[in-house]
Chains A and B, each alone.
Chain A
């Protein structure tokens, strides 16, 4: 069983987001890229499957700033092979372009199963999984939280609203969009990542294209006015608590 996990790095939302001069993109110099949290779950799910039933896990990342650390961290968690895609990623890419590039790479990697995060917070042209599935001619099921493999099939627990779930049977090879791994993504110590940097190797694959066709062009990015509606309470923690107690009284809670 060969499981491939293509990951994306996305702007860290903990940092302040600043627009560039065009007003239609984030200022790349002010953005810190981190692993998309759903991709972290996809890596975890792949490693859980490997631990349960054997096989090999390959993690693939585009060569953007921070990619090597993401790949070595995956190795420290148990990934067997690391692949870095090279191209002029600084010019930006959308998921259609990335999916077309990945589809070429998957022809060589020949996976039985591809796990992606069900979404990334910067997706504007759909999420990666369904696009990749179609470019590879594989079926796709998303919102997956829980997964078992048996005889050329995957049985996935797909989430619906309200706590309802569906058990879907999918013929392999397939692409699945992971909402949550069966267990929270494991923590690895920095020392283990450092060790992986010495022992693991990253294979480099140059990908073609990355034409942005398939997504929309943005004319303007803006921050919604946070607090537009909210009455903001200022002051020390004690003062905020006192005001909240008064509000609770107004609302009839006390």
Chain B
């Protein structure tokens, strides 16, 4: 177990280092140091200012030294300085993170509950009308690009139903600390959008996994003991069937926390995805780098946690 842990964590660190090199290379090698410094100094930047920024960012030194400085800062939790906003990248990210976390966790609850619920019903009533309906709707939402679904929801709920209800605001974000009620209202449509697009995979995965488990011997044993069908399904089958679902949920949440770009852009939620798009449009490199590395970390850590959980949940998984 310890050996596995050390090996696996070592691998994760290696992947992160490689990712950081790729990302760093993409942004700092590309347009050349003078250009970068000039962009940061702004249109009114003097030659002295440009030279100063160049020096501060170590742009006058060889690339590997630049990377070393950046990576060293990263290790100390220093993500660099954002010249556009005039504040450290860390604060920019800290300001954007709550919106993304609210969006992703709320949506994740919906998509997991809905996906597992429909998946279980589809498996238990396999080939029934309900199963067909859930499978068809899963395929439908799986095929739906996020922005198409988002616009459809905005159109229907915010415009077409607007005389009936003005309940659905659809642009902007209110933090939970300032007004929990509004926080909820503003997030309903984004949650639905993200959840419906994602839930399809969960419906299908749960269905497949449930069908497989329901065919196993111990389910027959449980039934022949006279156990109630509901209990067989919830206590015995579902537990085993959920392993792949938990895996997928871990990975999906990890990926989404790195920024749900389209959903945030669509609904004007100032989270990490929205911030990174803005940063890319302004070529605000420190912010892009910071968020990309953060996103990569989320993915790698989610992978790690899922691998470990897998071993804990399923004793048949051998760690080596």
- Co-assembled chains A and B: no
B interface residues, Cβ below 8 angstroms from A = none
Residues of A participating in the B interface, judged by any CB pair closer than 8 Å: none
